[in-house]
Amino acid sequence: MIAFNKYYNQFNILSVSLVVVSLFFLIFKGLNFGIDFKGGTLIELRSNDKKINVSSLRDNLSQMNLGDVSVKKFGNETDFLIKFENNENKNVIEEIKKNLDKSFGNNFNFRRVENVGPKVSAELLRSGVIAISVALALMLIYIWIRFEWQFSLGAILALFHDVIVTLGLFSLLGLEINLSIIAAVLTIVGYSMNDTVVIFDRVRENLRKYADIKIFELTNISINETLSRTLITSITTLLALLSIFFFGGEILKGFSLAMIFGVIFGTYSSIYIANTVLVRLNVSQKTILKDDDKN
């Protein structure tokens, strides 16, 4: 049996500092919102000419009065991603096409064009925030129905930890937040909850079984009993996610990365946040028996 409970305090301190640092980044550095949420235009280009590079493209586009233009490589050597802010000019894509053809010859294939107006981006951001809030609220209600409040608190704290730290990591690394990241965050919420609930289920079962074991020991027993399941599921989920990350193409990179972070944090938090909350609230057999009587 691994003595997870030996490090409860240390890991609690770590979790709190992670959340604080993440919040710090979220507040002061902010998130790198993509065009879905900020509005603007995105163009994915593929060039036939290997000589064309980021800086020559950037020089060319910066003469076009597009405002703040970002040009980046996208996966391949010959693929580029161009982004700029909302532009009043309705024909801006056509003009960019003409301009690039003139300067570099007819060497470009416009693989993807996305243009999100300010009104739509504001709506997408709002519905994203609503979606995550509703998800958290629903999880709260679900766990509140299923368990005693001490367990709910533990699960919710673990959930907030995972979402905040994942977003904090995105802020730290400057990774783009787009619609698929919202999907990833929601899936993380589901996954983290799922992981926590499985351990909690066992904690409750053990609370009924052993009246004389203290919660400090009991959580450790429960974590160990469910440990191989926790690990196997995390591993298979990570295997799936890693194959999306490495082979699923550039578009899914951000999504799979967010999920990979989320699965790791989710597994960690169900052990070291959710359970320690039970310990700190001194949950005992009485806690669940009271509830059992009511039913």
Q: Which residues bind other proteins (CB under 8 A)?
A: 44, 90, 93-94, 109-117, 119-120, 124, 127-128, 130-131, 134-135, 138-139, 142, 146, 179-180, 182-183, 186-187, 189-191, 193-194, 197-198, 201-202, 225-226, 228-229, 232-233, 235-244, 246-249, 251-252, 255-256, 259
Query: Taking the complex as a whole, how short is the minimal distance between the CB of residue 14 and other proteins, in angstroms?
Result: 25
Q: How far apart are CA 60 and CA 81, in angstroms?
A: 14
Query: Taking the complex as a whole, how short is the minimal distance between the CB of residue 240 and other proteins, in angstroms?
Result: 3
CB nearer to other proteins: give 19 or 238. Answer: 238
Query: Taking the complex as a whole, how short is the minimal distance between the CB of residue 120 and other proteins, in angstroms?
Result: 5
Dihedral pair phi/psi, residue 166, rounded to 5°: -60, -45
CB nearer to other proteins: give 61 or 181. Answer: 181
CB nearer to other proteins: give 42 or 283. Answer: 42
Q: How far apart are CA 136 and CA 188, in angstroms?
A: 11
CB nearer to other proteins: give 15 or 44. Answer: 44
Cβ atoms of 283 and 207 closer than 8 Å: yes
Q: Give burial (CB, 10 Å; 0-12/13-18/19+) of 294.
A: exposed
Q: How far apart are CA 31 and CA 177, in angstroms?
A: 7
CB nearer to other proteins: give 12 or 217. Answer: 217
Query: Taking the complex as a whole, how short is the minimal distance between the CB of residue 237 and other proteins, in angstroms?
Result: 4
Query: Taking the complex as a whole, how short is the minimal distance between the CB of residue 245 and other proteins, in angstroms?
Result: 8
CB nearer to other proteins: give 15 or 206. Answer: 206
CB nearer to other proteins: give 11 or 116. Answer: 116
Cβ atoms of 106 and 20 closer than 8 Å: no
Query: Taking the complex as a whole, how short is the minimal distance between the CB of residue 261 and other proteins, in angstroms?
Result: 14
Query: Taking the complex as a whole, how short is the minimal distance between the CB of residue 197 and other proteins, in angstroms?
Result: 4
Long-range contacts of 252-260 (CB under 8 A, 24+ apart): 252/180, 254/175, 254/176, 254/178, 254/180, 254/181, 254/184, 255/180, 255/181, 255/183, 255/184, 256/184, 257/175, 258/166, 258/170, 258/175, 258/181, 258/184, 258/185, 258/188, 259/184, 259/187, 259/188
CB nearer to other proteins: give 110 or 216. Answer: 110
Cβ atoms of 83 and 41 closer than 8 Å: yes
Query: Taking the complex as a whole, how short is the minimal distance between the CB of residue 194 and other proteins, in angstroms?
Result: 4
Dihedral pair phi/psi, residue 90, rounded to 5°: -75, -25
